[in-house]
Amino acid sequence: MSPKSLSRILLWSSLLLLSACLPSLPTGKPKDLALPSQFDTQAPADTNSVAYQHWSHYFDDPHLHTLIEEALQHNQELHIALQEIAIRQNEVLARQGEYQPNLGLQIGLGLDKPGRYTRAGALEENLEVAPGRRFPSPLADLSVAAVASWEVDIWQKLRKAKKSAVLKYLATIEGRHFMVTNLVAEVAASYYELLALDNLLLIIQQNTELQRAVLEIVQKEKDNAKATQLAVNRFEAQWLNTQNLQFEVKQQIVATENRLNWLLGRFPQPIERDATRFFDIDADSIQTGLPLQLLANRADIRQAELALQASHLELEVARANFYPALRLNAGLGTNAFSPERLLDPHSVLYGLGGELIAPLLNRKTIATQYRNANAQQQQALYRYEQTLLTAHMEVLNQWAKIENYRQSYQTKKQEVALLTQSVEVANNLYRAARADYMEVLLTQREALNEKIELVETKAKLLAGKVTIYKALGGGWR
């Protein structure tokens, strides 16, 4: 048998032995999740989805448009995400350089003076550099060389590591898209909340003026002995109670304005808005599309999918660490004891070699890294499935929220209209001594509470309009 054949047999035998020593991994795999064919909220299958609408078309308030545009330009979290993308991009370049040859220039300078009564010193005493010229003492050592090294990627380990870095880079881009979706939704939700608080404050102030007018009438009647001090005190107490409600609302307005300014990346300042449009904002005709479209519209789903693919490649890289690594080394240069001899052809030196390195004593560390890579792949798969479940549930919840609060808002409007009319009727009956003052107080209180609930119901309906747009994956395009 020739030496070449023997070397091949030894090489393949070692590879089989190393592959047989791979640690066993858990065989359990999470169940595959398949999205339903359509949302439960829709009877017919419809591919139209508001997620494809640009946020400037979905939200038709020009003041809100200005706020969102400023947030997209100046929000600090988005700038941090951009730097994370740059970091991941640099990691791709670093991985790419790992499977390319390394070439460097090496310059050496040394000085050597062995002892005379040593082997090297004794040899120098009897050697001549040239006829009649002895070795210089001390002896200089000058070298200039180009050196190269290259790990041959025979198992595709380095290329798979680079592909994993590319996938992680793409995942950070999808992560930023998801941040844009969240930012647009948060700005819109805060803006609608601010409009609701403005209308709430207006209702409280209007009722305060109404109750103050009624209180003045009761005080005059008390002066004319037509009402008691008890009635005056009860009307005044309710008037003060209603007046006190506005201070909490004003505090909420300040906090909401500050939160909006923070999202816009600026110091607190007044937020321009038109509160009179609050009750006219439409929350109808919201199309959800099909669940399968979430895979393309939801950036967090795409991010989880890319992370899953990257984890699979990292498992392949961890497995390849068990196999031998082939490294080639080469060098070409010149070496002499004096500068004038560096360009002499006799000073030229070169070298070429290769080495095959297989792990033997450090296998526990490699095996641990392999098991960890497998566990991380399992985690990535579970996260992907969890993201799918979360996305589907969010759409269903927000659709139900919109439908329920839309119906609640219609009935609440009728209730407010009736109670507003009842307040005027109760005041007239009280002046005609045909109703007790307690009936007037209760009617005023009920009317105020229902008006407040009407604003809150509308605010929840608009919050549903925002969150379903976010749940469907809108806002980042």
Give the tokens for residue 476.
């980042």
Cβ atoms of 341 and 167 closer than 8 Å = no
Measured CA to CA, the distance from residue 100 to residue 32 in angstroms comes to 39
pLDDT reported for residue 364:
83
Measured CA to CA, the distance from residue 23 to residue 29 in angstroms comes to 17
pLDDT tens-place string over residues 445-456: 888 888 889 999
pLDDT reported for residue 150:
84
Please, how many CA atoms are within 13 Å of residue 109, restricted to the half-sphere of its CB?
A: 1
Residues of the chain with pLDDT below 50 are 1, 3, 6-7, 9-10, 16-17, 20, 27-28, 43
Q: Report how far apart, in Å, the C-alpha atoms of 115 and of each of 112, 118, 123, 137, 139 are.
A: 10, 5, 11, 10, 12
Homologous superfamily (CATH) for 29-99+154-323+365-471: Outer membrane efflux proteins (OEP) (1.20.1600.10)
Q: What is residue 40's three-state secondary structure? A: coil
Residue 330: its H or E element: strand 325-336
Cβ atoms of 264 and 74 closer than 8 Å = yes
Cβ atoms of 405 and 464 closer than 8 Å = yes
Homologous superfamily (CATH) for 104-152+325-357: Outer membrane efflux proteins (OEP) (2.20.200.10)
In the chain, where does the domain assigned CATH 1.20.1600.10 lie? 29-99+154-323+365-471
Q: Would you tell me how many other CB atoms lie within 10 Å of the CB of residue 9?
A: 11
Question: Residue holding tokens 């107490």?
Answer: 237
Burial of 328 from C-beta contacts in 10 A (0-12 / 13-18 / 19+): middle
pLDDT reported for residue 8:
55
In the chain, where does the domain assigned CATH 2.20.200.10 lie? 104-152+325-357
Q: Report how far apart, in Å, the C-alpha atoms of 126 and of each of 65, 72, 119, 138 are.
A: 92, 81, 11, 15
